[in-house]
Chain A
Amino acid sequence: MKQLSTIFVLVCLLAIGLFVALQRAHPRVSDRPENAGRSEVVFWHFWGGADRDVVDDVVQRFNASQEQFFVRSIAMPGNNLQAKLFLAIAGGDPPDLVNQDDPIVGDWGWRGIVQPLQDVCSPEELRALDEFLFPAAKQLGSFDETMYAVCNGLDVRALYYNLTALQKHGLQPPRSLEELTEIARIITPPGTLNPETFGYLPDARRLWAWGKVFGGDFFDFETSRVQLTDPAIVAAARWMAGFGNWYGADTINRFRQGDQSLPGKTFPLLPIQDQEVQGRYVMLMDGQWRVRDIDAFIDRRRQQGLAYPEFGVCALPAPAGGRVDAGWVNGNFFLIPKGAKNTPGAVAFMKYWIGLGDPEQAAITCAAGGWIPVSEEVVQTNVFQAFLDERPLFREFVRLAGSQNQTPIPVIPGAPMFKREVEKASATAMAKPDQSTEAILQEANTIIQRRLDKLGRRVGQ
Chain B
Amino acid sequence: MNEKLRYWMLVLPALAVMILFYIWPVLNIWGISVTEPSAGLGNYTRMFDSNAVRVSFVLTFRVAAITTILCLLLGYVLAYTISNFATRVRPLMLGLVLLPFWVSVLIRSFAWIVLLGRSGLVNDALMDAGLISTPIRFMHNELGVLIAMVHVMLPFAVLPMLTNMRGIDGSYMRAARGLGASEWRAFREVYFPQTLPGVFSGGLLVFVLSLGFYITPALLGGGRVMMISEYITYQIQEFLNWGLGAALSVALLVATAIVLLVAARFVNLRKTFLERS
Asked if A and B bind, the verdict is no
Which residues of A come within 8 Å of B, CB atoms? none
Which residues of B come within 8 Å of A, CB atoms? none
